[in-house]
Copies of this chain bind each other. A is one copy, B any other.
Amino acid sequence: MTRTPPPEPRDEIRVAVSTVIFSLRHDDAGELPAVVLPLVRRTRDPHEGQWALPGGWLDASENLEAAASRTLAETTALAPSYLEQLYAFGDVGRSPARVVSIVYWALVREDVAATPLPADENVAWFDAAALPPLAFDHELIVEYALWRLRNKVGYSRIAHGLLPELFTLAELREVYEAIGGRRLDPANFRRQVDGSGTLIPSDDFRTGSHRPARLYRYNHDVELADRGPLPR
């Protein structure tokens, strides 16, 4: 890209793509759902046996985002509802070989995440608040992705990426509460979201407990927040 001659292939800088995938899991009724993410167990050195982020090598003929989707599908069989580049990690010492990892982060709806993972003991969901030791610098990466998730949910409307097509305001609020780690006032939450024009009320209601709650869908007309410089 510049005026110096290109490096010979023997420089051996390799490019990998990994993804931090977030979803929610309701375990204890009455409690806030937990933020969970899938990890894969490494079956070879380095760090054999340790848990790591799903990912793989970048193929010379595919774009970065395509590589993230592909490796994510190969290792976890998941299709994300939101995918955004997180950061490029390339410190010299982060792996025995010189690897630059382009890391993405993604959201998966809870009902999608609930479908069983591949019959593979080497893929599993973990509570983001109780992760095992991770390979490479993946703990740092997950920590940063969590920071970004919490940050972005504050100023954008990505929370619906964790919900099905139709959802109640209480369910949407629960997503914000789970990510933010604190309860929100239902009254104020309602006003804020329907003042923002991001939700379209449907004519259906969720019944089953007490007063039925109106179901909403996300208004795709309002632009999702910044997903990077790429054309959308």
Contacts and interface: CB of A to CB of B under 8 A. Distances in A.
Interface of A: 1-4, 6-7, 9-16, 18, 40, 42-44, 52, 54-64, 71, 75, 85, 87-92, 95, 97-102, 136, 140-141, 143-144, 147, 226, 228-230
B85 A88 contact: yes
A40 B90 CA distance: 25
Copies of this polypeptide in the complex = 2
22 contacts: A1-B101, A2-B18, A2-B52, A2-B55, A2-B71, A2-B75, A3-B43, A4-B56, A4-B57, A6-B14, A6-B97, A7-B60, A9-B9, A12-B60, A13-B15, A62-B92, A63-B90, A85-B87, A87-B229, A89-B229, A100-B100, A143-B229
Q: Shortest 9 CB-CB distances between A and B: which pairs?
A: A144-B229, A9-B9, A64-B90, A88-B88, A1-B16, A11-B60, A2-B56, A88-B102, A7-B57
Given A141-B229, A144-B228, A60 B98 contact: yes
